[in-house]
Amino acid sequence: MIVYVSVGNDGLRLSQPQWAIFATQAEGLLIGPGKILSTWYSTPTAPWQSACWRIEFDDQDMPGIPKLRDQLANLAARFSQPVHWDEVTRPETIATPDEP
Q: What's the CATH number for 2-88?
A: 3.30.70.260
Q: Distance of alpha carbon 63 from its chain centroid, rounded? A: 18
Q: Higher model confidence: residue 46 or residue 90?
A: 46
- Model confidence at 34: pLDDT above 70: yes
Distance of alpha carbon 15 from alpha carbon 50, whole angstroms? 13
Q: Distance of alpha carbon 19 from its chain centroid, rounded? A: 14
Instruction: Determine the pLDDT at residue 99.
Output: 66
Distance of alpha carbon 10 from alpha carbon 80, whole angstroms? 9
Query: In the chain, what is the straight-line distance between the N-terminal and C-terminal CA atoms, in Å?
Result: 30
- Model confidence at 18: pLDDT above 70: yes
Q: What percent of the chain has pLDDT over 70?
A: 98
- Model confidence at 45: pLDDT above 70: yes
Distance of alpha carbon 25 from alpha carbon 98, whole angstroms? 40
pTM of the model: 0.87
- Model confidence at 91: pLDDT above 90: no
Q: Tell me the pLDDT tens digit for each residue of 66-80.
A: 999 999 999 999 999
Q: What is the DSSP letter of 98?
A: P
Question: Residue 49's pLDDT band (boundaries 50, 70, 90)?
Answer: very high
Residue boundaries of the structural domains of the chain: 2-88
